[in-house]
Chain A
Amino acid sequence: ETETGSGSAAHGPPRAALSELSALLAPAAGEAVRAGAAETALALSGSAAGRRMLAGRPAVVAALLELAAGPCPPAARDALGCLVNVSAEPAAHGPLLAALPTLLGLLPAGPACGVLANLCRERGAARRVLRGLRERGSGLTPLLQALGEPRPPPQLGPLLCNLSQLPEGRRGLLDRSRCSVQRLLPFTQYKDSTVHRRGVVGALRNCCFEAEDHEWLLSEEVDILPFLLLPLAGPEEFPEDEMERLPLDLQYLPQDKQREEEPDIRKMLLEAIMLLTATKPGRHVVRDKGTYVILRELHRCEQEPDVLAACENLIQVLIGDEPGPGMENLLEVKIPEEVEEQLQRGDREEERWRREEEEAGGSTPCPEEPSG
């Protein structure tokens, strides 16, 4: 395997340069030299090959992390930026997790959220991060508080999304004694960062898997539904009686109201509402609050086939008959083995189809934008 095409040819043969780099990043090298080395590392991490090389060197990752937590701002910024990129590589996860306390100490700074978000794509790493946060005593609180800041870091959304793939992460977001999931809600309409918005919507969808919290999520205390519906609503005017029956947040929307422009986010919103209809009281509230009217209008203008399918599924549930006894909680219904097998086969096929599509499209991994 040759890695001469890494795009940083100015730094000589990469392998030799790498050994040098870790020496230059070490404290013994002095402040100016370390800052220069961090800058070089950041440039190197811009390419996939560079990321792979850096990630394969635990000493480099450790030195970068030490620099990131250090007192020199430009070097720390470059080192952390480099780590965000490198953390997209699974090989970097070992050394990063080894220095988890240092990493958690950098929260809730944006790049630190980014590194952790990348790490937490793996369930095992997410579990360790959650444990680390708990051991610090504050759990998710600093992250939730950062959401209340005027400009929360955009990487916070993906981090919360990835943490909420685990039940213990969802528990943190669904803590009723504090303002937790409520802080996430306004960001379904957040225009400043698609990355953050996508992460937050993903986290909300994950929370909707907790059926025993549905009633609370839909109650006055949280009132999640309007926040999930608002991005799906357009500028359509409704007759006054229909309008007044909608949740307040959806009433009298301005003429320039736009729907969520990212199809995958629209789909996640629909899936979240779908999950909320899994229980009988949930279905009742979702039906009662004018969801159908919003979906009817969405259905008229939706172009994306899979979003359209999600929309149709949800409409089916809303206008369909109530399921019989024993089937009220759709998340708990026992699925016959042969049906499950069939569904899994379908999923596998879909997965393969998606992979082929990705390969055909030649899409490169995008380290700054981890998915949930």
Chain B
Amino acid sequence: MKRCPAEIDAAQQPDLACLQSLLFDEEQGPAELARMYKNEGNEYFRERDYKRAVIAYTEGLKKKCEDPELNAVLHTNRGAAQFYLGNYRSALNDAVQAKKLKPTHLKAIIRGALCHMELKNFSEAIAWCEEGLRIDAKEKKLVEMRAKADKLKRAEERDARKAKVMEKKEQCQKEILLAAIKERNIKLVLEPSNEEEELAHGLAEISLDGFHSDNATGAKVHLDADGNLNWPVLFLYPEHEQTDFIAAFHENSRFIDHLMLMFAELPPWDLERKYLPSNLELYFEDEERAEMYELNPEHTLLQVLQHESQKVIVKPVLLTCTVL
């Protein structure tokens, strides 16, 4: 046998169990035992068996020996093993403990700084580097890590600034859009899903977040370069359970123009050949009153939207289309 089995079963390998009990004799002082576990942990570490290394170092720490130096090493080494397992939080905790036990332990400080890098706490990483550089001002790893952390921190700060600017810009555009809608005397209602408190604000201070609620296609009402509104419009054909969707319906286009295009050819589901542009009737629904209003296909979208009973939800304008 060249390698020691990881788990020793006394019944199956009495000789090994005997050796082990010799090695880890309870009569030895806690410091010797802790040192033994440290060496065992180091063996595992060298074999890149980090899980077993963690277990060994933990056993060593459990001995609670009175040698702070040894405990600092146990913590540092366990931290290193945890680090390679990707457990950066645990690794950091060990580095903190090790540093507490031995404030000049450079390896622990480097480990702590590395953990903060992985956890993307760049300011903390810099602080740990500083602490290490106070012990050795030329420690290469720390000099380099500090530079890297500084760079990443500055990049992160820039990203945060950019996000803020973008958010502001978006907010500004929404306000312009809302003003355009108000200017046209179009009545807006909130989506039913919105919070009650937002409903309390009423139409005047409508929550702009409604504009965020993208429908499945991502189409939203928007202002084009000429200052005209374009709306998403959904046509429903209840008779056949079919729909048509127009992502950007120009407010000055007439319904008939769209219908002419949409029904230039008979849709495949219209087996009875009834859906000809001239035959179509269009309705919109006042959801509150549960009433249907017929609209004139010769009218533009804007005219319809300005109808006193039309209330637009910030999702697509819903129209029902049936045949005469």
Contact = CB atoms under 8 A, between A and B. Distances in A.
B8 interface: no
A145 B154 contact: no
Interface string B97-109: 0000000000000
A251 B162 contact: yes
B208 interface: no
A326 interface: no
A248 to B, nearest CB: 4
A143 to B, nearest CB: 12
Nearest to A253: B161
A221 B151 CA distance: 9
Contacts of B165: 237, 252
Given A251-B158, A254-B161, A148 B137 contact: no
A91 interface: no
A179 B146 contact: yes
Given A251-B161, A252-B161, A253-B161, A178 B155 contact: no
Contacts of A248: 154-155, 158
Contacts of A145: 130, 133-134, 137
A178 B154 CA distance: 20
B133 to A, nearest CB: 6
A179 B141 CA distance: 11
A178 B138 contact: yes
B151 to A, nearest CB: 8
Contact of B158 (A178, A220, A252): A252
Nearest to A144: B137
Interface centre among B137, B138, B147, B161 (most CB of A within 10 A): B137
Given A141-B137, A179-B133, A252-B162, A221 B147 contact: yes
Interface residues of A, number: 18
B143 interface: yes
A316 B100 CA distance: 57
A303 interface: no
A323 B143 CA distance: 37
Nearest to B129: A179
Contacts, number: 44
B299 interface: no
Given A145-B134, A249-B154, A177 B143 contact: yes
B164 interface: yes
Interface in A217-256: 220-221, 223, 237, 248-249, 251-254
A47 interface: no
A176 to B, nearest CB: 9
A178 B162 contact: no
Interface in B135-179: 137-138, 143, 146-147, 150-151, 154-155, 157-158, 161-162, 164-165
Interface size class of B (residues with CB under 8 A): 10 to 19
A329 interface: no
A237 B169 CA distance: 12
A59 B173 CA distance: 74
Nearest to A147: B130
B138 A177 contact: yes
A238 to B, nearest CB: 11
B138 to A, nearest CB: 5
Contacts of B161: 251-254
Interface string A166-180: 000000000001110
Interface in B113-147: 130, 133-134, 137-138, 143, 146-147
A148 B162 contact: no
Contacts of B138: 177-178
A182 interface: yes
A134 to B, nearest CB: 14
Contacts of A178: 133, 137-138, 143
B134 A252 contact: no
Contacts of A182: 146-147, 150
Contacts of B134: 145, 148
Contacts of A148: 130, 133-134
A249 B160 CA distance: 11
Interface in A166-223: 177-179, 182, 220-221, 223
B117 to A, nearest CB: 16
Given A145-B134, A252-B164, A252-B165, A179 B147 contact: yes
A223 B165 CA distance: 25
Contact of A179 (B143, B155, B164): B143
A148 B150 CA distance: 13
Contact of A254 (B133, B147, B150, B164): B164
A220 B147 CA distance: 9
Contacts of A223: 151
A237 B162 CA distance: 12
Nearest to B161: A252
A248 B162 CA distance: 10
Interface in A64-81: none
A249 B158 contact: yes
Nearest to A182: B147
Nearest to B143: A179
A79 B150 CA distance: 40
Contacts of A177: 138, 143
A220 B137 CA distance: 20
Nearest to A250: B158
A64 to B, nearest CB: 31
A157 B317 CA distance: 65
Contacts of A249: 154, 157-158
Contacts of B143: 177-179
A344 to B, nearest CB: 42
A317 B150 CA distance: 31
Interface in B56-86: none
20 contacts: A141-B137, A145-B130, A145-B133, A145-B137, A148-B133, A148-B134, A177-B138, A178-B143, A179-B143, A179-B147, A182-B146, A223-B151, A248-B154, A248-B155, A248-B158, A249-B154, A249-B158, A251-B162, A252-B158, A252-B161
Given A145-B133, A148-B134, A178-B138, 14 more contacts: A144-B137, A145-B130, A148-B133, A178-B133, A179-B146, A179-B147, A182-B150, A237-B165, A249-B154, A249-B157, A249-B158, A251-B162, A252-B164, A254-B161
Question: 4 tightest A-B contacts by CB?
Answer: A252-B161, A248-B158, A148-B130, A252-B162
